[in-house]
Structure 1
Amino acid sequence: MSMEQMLHYLAALEQNNDRDWFHTHRQEYDQARTAFEKLVEDLLCELRRSDPSLPVLPARELTFKLMRDTRFSRDKSPYLPAFRAHLGPRGKLPVPVGYYLMVRPGGRSFLGGGLFADMFRDATTRVRDAIAANGEEWAAILADPVFAGTFTVGGSALKRVPQGYDPAHPQAEWLRCKSWYLELPVPDSRLLEPGFLPWVAEAFQRMQPFNDFLNRALEGFELPAR
């Protein structure tokens, strides 16, 4: 299945977001999922050339299901019409941080990196401590022309620098954050270009110093047991 057909399937699923339609078009879903998994496998091979921390895993262990957990959501539609994957040192777990890809039609695809989750207080503290202690290195990563010309750093933040950190620190604006992540929008036209895969790999390579800084700070952090 081509990328164009994959986008067509996801758009149709969004318009017919119910279980009957999904099961009636199960063959199209299987073909689209297989095509996305092939993209993820090829991307992993490319990224491992510059980031050996990424393990060799089957694509199915790096991708997320379309089915939504609707128990606590007002939106009861059963599917998220997007193909998503996270390629990190521990597969699709959010920590250590890695490289996130979402394919969704209508200009809603994006590449992501960094720490998206802000509910892990210990993780946030570790990154704040690293920024406070290595402010010049952090600033140099963000100011690098290749990085700054590609990404903008986002994240949830407090109104003030938390207690225990210097409000006058040169990186005070980043010490207020509870998460630090990157998002690079990907228009549909880019998805359909023949050189999409190498473009994605190059973009992810540009965010590698950012991810490496966070992962050094997060070394030893363990996700809470489910």
Structure 2
Amino acid sequence: MVDTKKILNFIKELKENNNKEWYHAHKEERLEAKSEFEKLIQELIIEIGKFDQSILCNDPKDLTFKMVRDTRFSKDKSPYNPVFRAHISSKGKLPIPVGYYIYIGCDNTAFLGGGLFADMFKEATNMVRAYIDKNGKELTEITNDPDFKNNFKMCGVKLKNVPAGYDKEHPYGEFLKHKSWFIEYPISDHDFIDSKAFIKNAAEKFKLMKPFNDYLNKALVDFEMPKR
């Protein structure tokens, strides 16, 4: 059984004490919370694997993100992100191919996500738009499905107008305006406390996201991450 209380408690404490001294003084609690989060991700991998075997190759340790923030270009100089995050896809935590994103914050800020969050890859945006141009009907059917509409709303950075190169009256113009395409399902602190119920619910929501993810991954099949 995953101790989700340890995860939430650490996040709440870090949020209230977001400084290096406290962070290093509470290393033991941090490592315990991190271990519980990795156990949670392992449980999710098993459940997601029942409908998407492509993610079963992952090690939870390779899917999580650091709490340390890059504050160089931010007005907020707090050194840590008081959240636990992971992205589960066929190629690990890379943003592409898209997969299943989990963001655990406190004070009811947690959510489950799917789709393309990153809008900094111009090539990826162009590839998805080109795919929508030819296959917009399929995306319309996915997003109009009652189960999808009852749980998700498509988000992402969006232009005011249909991008250059496409008809201003394009039938899928609203989709084409996006630079990123993602969906979120909110999770309350209360939802997260019962780990067994949370894992079951999360797997169900991720299963509903799969057609949306599959659509984007077909558009991005030839995308290559830029070399650093």
Contact 1:161 1:173 in 2 (8 A): yes
Instruction: Tell me the TM-score normalized by structure 1.
Output: 0.97
SS in 2 for 1:130: helix
Task: Give, in angstroms, the shift of residue 156 of structure 1.
Answer: 0.9
| Correspondence 1:40-119 to 2 at 5 A | 40-119=41-120
The separation in 2 between residues aligned to 1:182 and 1:167, in whole angstroms, is 25
Superposed structure 1 runs of 4+ greater than 2 Å apart: none
The separation in 1 between residues aligned to 2:56 and 2:203, in whole angstroms, is 16
2:105 maps to 1:134: no
Determine the structure 2 residue equivalent to 1:207.
209
Determine the structure 2 residue equivalent to 1:179.
180
After superposition, the C-alpha distances for 1:205-226 in whole angstroms (9 at most, x for unaligned) are: 1000000000000011011111
**Alpha carbon RMSD of aligned pairs, Å?**
1.1
The separation in 1 between residues aligned to 2:78 and 2:119, in whole angstroms, is 26
Contact 1:151 1:183 in 2 (8 A): yes
SS in 2 for 1:149: helix
Determine the structure 2 residue equivalent to 1:168.
169
Task: Give, in angstroms, the shift of residue 13 of structure 1.
Answer: 0.8
Contact 2:6 2:32 in 1 (8 A): no
Amino acid at match of 1:208: K
2:160 maps to 1:159: yes
- Higher alpha-carbon deviation: 74-83 or 48-57: 48-57
SS in 2 for 1:185: strand
Consecutive unaligned residues of structure 2, counting only runs of 5 or more, are none
Determine the structure 2 residue equivalent to 1:143.
144
The separation in 2 between residues aligned to 1:172 and 1:44, in whole angstroms, is 36
The separation in 2 between residues aligned to 1:164 and 1:71, in whole angstroms, is 36
Task: Give, in angstroms, the shift of residue 169 of structure 1.
Answer: 2.0
Task: Give, in angstroms, the shift of residue 94 of structure 1.
Answer: 0.2
The separation in 1 between residues aligned to 2:160 and 2:25, in whole angstroms, is 50
The separation in 2 between residues aligned to 1:46 and 1:2, in whole angstroms, is 18
Contact 1:11 1:81 in 2 (8 A): yes
Task: Give, in angstroms, the shift of residue 26 of structure 1.
Answer: 0.8
The separation in 2 between residues aligned to 1:32 and 1:147, in whole angstroms, is 32
Task: Give, in angstroms, the shift of residue 44 of structure 1.
Answer: 0.7
Contact 1:156 1:179 in 2 (8 A): yes
SS in 2 for 1:195: helix
Contact 2:63 2:87 in 1 (8 A): yes
Identity of aligned residues (%): 46
The separation in 2 between residues aligned to 1:173 and 1:79, in whole angstroms, is 36
The separation in 1 between residues aligned to 2:25 and 2:163, in whole angstroms, is 53
After superposition, the C-alpha distances for 1:108-155 in whole angstroms (9 at most, x for unaligned) are: 001111011111111111111111101211110001111111100011
After superposition, the C-alpha distances for 1:1-27 in whole angstroms (9 at most, x for unaligned) are: 721232111111111111111111111
Contact 1:130 1:217 in 2 (8 A): yes
SS in 2 for 1:162: coil
Determine the structure 2 residue equivalent to 1:16.
17
The separation in 1 between residues aligned to 2:13 and 2:130, in whole angstroms, is 46
SS in 1 for 2:208: helix
